[in-house]
Structure 1
Amino acid sequence: MEEGNSKVKVASLLWLEGFREACCLHRVLILCFRSNTLLIRTGQCFLLNGFIFLGSIFVLNSLVIPALRWILPDQCSHLVSHELCDLGATFKFYSFLRLALIQLFYVLWFYPLYVFSIVLSTIWYNDIAKYGYAAMGRSKLTVEKGSGQNKSLTVQNTSHVKRPSGLGGVMIGIGEQVYSLLLLSVFFLEVYATGFIPYIGKVLNFLLLSWMYAYYCFEYKWNFNEVALERRLDYFESNWPFFAGFGSPCVLAIFFFSPLVSYGIMAILFPLFVLTATGSEVEQEISFEKHKWRAAGVGRLPIFYVADNVSMWMLSLLPLEKGEQVQNRKAE
């Protein structure tokens, strides 16, 4: 019982540390203050996803739909003659016409805007992470050489793997990106499927979404640091309580809204959490204390086990020579 309480206590502390780190949004202001380009790119993201996308949803729900209900009522009112009130087919036609106009609004505006926002926001997220990383370097937030913190290894300096130069290094990099994309795509489907599990589905969905968003936030930083894929997955699964806590504020902000509204809110908040992760040094502190909480029994949790096996099975369907190269790379 005492050992179990110790595990829960350590995991809870790491979860709280991750939640606290995600809420350190003042880092966003500091980084934007140091980089005008970062400020402009973040502002563009807010303008597109907040003002235009969420604003369009607000206009639809607050103005367009009430206006249509007034023009095309679904029940008898003082604006409708008694002759029409006696014809039930009239209100059915009004209801059908109103629904058709709303769906037309979605088809001609919301869905194209949604696709446009995804494509453009994906490009902007990478720029925001890049400019934020550069601003962090200029502000000396990274660990300087020769400091006392070099006594312990961190994920940045232990995970840097020297790749072969030339075409071989390029192919390895492309292979890692393909495998990472496939892995996260399978994991996303896994997250989506858990939502249909009775009773515990919502809890599992919340937890997996927290890990997914936390990984996305830190992935930009790890890419710039050239952290090997296997090392970053090992680090993520070894520090699972921290990353569950870090992703929780992201999920809490969208969990109780409709899909379109959730996307708009996440599209605004996601770059902020990316910058918060970029400016964070907490993974170094976790690395320093790793032996303590591992000794307490909070070990590695195979979060990506299912996604990894499914991804490797899919890659095994490739031509034998390419499949062996992927397997060998992953084994390293």
Structure 2
Amino acid sequence: MVGLKDVTGALQCILLGAKDSVLGIWPVFQLIKKNDKVRSQMLQCFLLNGVILWLSVLLFDYVLLPVIQIMANFVFSFVRGSSDSEDVSLLGLVTWYMFTGLWVLPVFWISKPINSIWFQDIASAAFKGSNQRSKTKKSESSSSLSQSISRLIADLLFSIVIELLFLIQAMLVGLIPIVGYYASVLHMAVLYSLYSFEYKWMYQGWIVHQRIALIEKNWPYFVGFGLPLAVLTALPSSTVISACIFAVAFPFYIVSANEAKPRQSTLSTLPLFTIVVVISNKLFSKSDPASFNSKVTLN
């Protein structure tokens, strides 16, 4: 039975997770100062997602589109003697679809693989520059010698499938009346934590089932860690703007996760990933379900 002490401890873990994600931003500036490549990639990430894509959408929605509608209203009034609001709205809708199809979507999809490369480089620099490198150096070398390339690829693909299915689960949960929105945000908080810590854990040689088991066992901390970013990306009505916010903020989260020390929870394990793991195991018949119960020690 869950007692008051357990609930209080869970709330403390959530607050600590949120605190680590926010205050963990400061090591980013140290990393930027020391590493020219990281500084360049952080700037490029901001320019691509925050300026080229995000700012262009805002300028179109709040400047260009209203100007086009005003001009169309003036032209229709001059030619016809009166303006038709339906024609002006239709013109605005067509213009919006053209802008989205010819600019937003191409840039959005091109930016995704570019962002992934930048995120990987930033994570690598953060891990190599931390004290944890010396702690895991032996395990890294032994792991890299013993694990085959095929197993590494399988683990990566398995992780991608699980995260994709969990994203779909978060969207479906959001359809539940009344509480759906909040449950979906909490799901996204957990998913963002997994995204952030995954780079560090993969460098430490943890397989996907171990990573998920750790999150499910200490879910209050990881809910808190990903909650600020989940709230920020949930506020905009535009999926593209939410993606831009995520892409700009995520490099900071990678470094925060690298410096963070997750707090253990006294509450029972919350099997958030059970359904997606079962589905993934069906898709990957050669995966080892028993490894899902592997014990992981917090560092």
With normalisation by structure 1, the TM-score equals: 0.80
- Whether 2:188 is the aligned partner of 1:227: answer no
Structure 2 residue corresponding to 1:273, chosen from 224, 248, 253: 253
Matched, 1:326 2:287: yes
| Structure 1 residues 160 and 10: CA distance shift in structure 2, 3 A | farther
- Report what 2:122 is aligned to: 128
CA distance in 2, matches of 1:84, 1:130: 64
Q: Which residue of structure 2 lines up, in the alignment, with residue 189 of structure 1? A: 168
Deviation string, structure 1 residues 249-298 (Cα, Å, up to 9, x no partner) = 11121211021211111110011111111122x13xx3xxx4xx53xxx1
Structure 1 partner of 2:9: 10
| Contact 1:14–1:242, Cα closer than 8 Å, also in 2 | yes
Match status 1:100 vs 2:62: no
Q: Distance in 2 between matches of 1:127 and 1:308?
A: 28
Equivalent residue, structure 1, for 2:277:
308
For 2:253, the aligned partner's letter is: F
- CA separation of 1:163/1:278 partners in 2, compared to 1, >3 Å: closer, same or farther? closer
1:93: how far off? 3.4
What does residue 18 of structure 2 align with?
Answer: 19
Question: Structure 1 residues 41, 92: closer, same or farther in 2, change over 3 A?
Answer: same
Given that 2:158 and 2:208 are in contact with CA atoms closer than 8 Å, whether structure 1 keeps it comes out as no
What is the total number of aligned residue pairs between the two structures?
Answer: 290
Structure 1 unaligned runs (5+)? 146-155, 316-322
Residues 127 and 236 of structure 1: is their aligned pair in 2 closer, same or farther, counting only changes over 3 Å? same
Which structure 2 residues correspond to residues 249-264 of structure 1 after superposition, within 5 A? Answer: 249-258=228-237, 259-264=239-244
Please give the per-residue CA displacement for 1:85-132, whole angstroms capped at 9, x wherever unaligned: 2xx7x5533432332122111111111011111121111111111122
Q: Which letter maps to 1:38?
A: V
Give the Cα–Cα distance (whole angstroms) in 1 for the partners of residues 99 and 144 of structure 2. Answer: 52
Measure how far apart 1:143 and its partner are. 8.1
1:1-332 equivalences under 5 Å are 4-24=3-23, 25-73=25-73, 80-81=77-78, 83-85=80-82, 91-136=85-130, 141-142=131-132, 163=143, 165=145, 169-258=148-237, 259-280=239-260, 282-283=261-262, 286=263, 290=264, 293-294=265-266, 298-315=267-284, 323=285, 325-327=286-288, 330=291
Equivalent position of 1:152 in the other structure: none
1:221-260 deviation per Cα after TM superposition (whole angstroms, max 9, x unaligned):
1111112322222211111100000000111212110212
Identity %: 24
Aligned in 2, Cα 1:241/1:329: closer, same or farther, shift over 3 Å?
closer
* Cα distance change on mapping 1:132 and 1:62 into 2, 3 Å: same
DSSP 3-state at the match of 1:23: helix
Q: TM-score, normalised on structure 2?
A: 0.88
**Structure 1: how far apart are the matches of 2:94 and 2:192?**
36
* Aligned residue in 1 for 2:297: none
Helix, strand or coil: the match of 2:3?
helix
Amino acid corresponding to residue 123 of structure 1 in structure 2: I
For the residue of structure 1 that corresponds to 2:210, the secondary structure is helix
Query: 5+ unaligned residues in a row in structure 2: which ranges?
Result: 295-299
Larger Rg: 1
- Taking only aligned residues, the RMSD between alpha carbons, in angstroms, comes to 2.6
2:277 partner amino acid: D
Q: Given residue 276 of structure 2, which amino acid in structure 1 is its aligned partner?
A: A
Secondary structure class of the residue paired with 1:199: coil
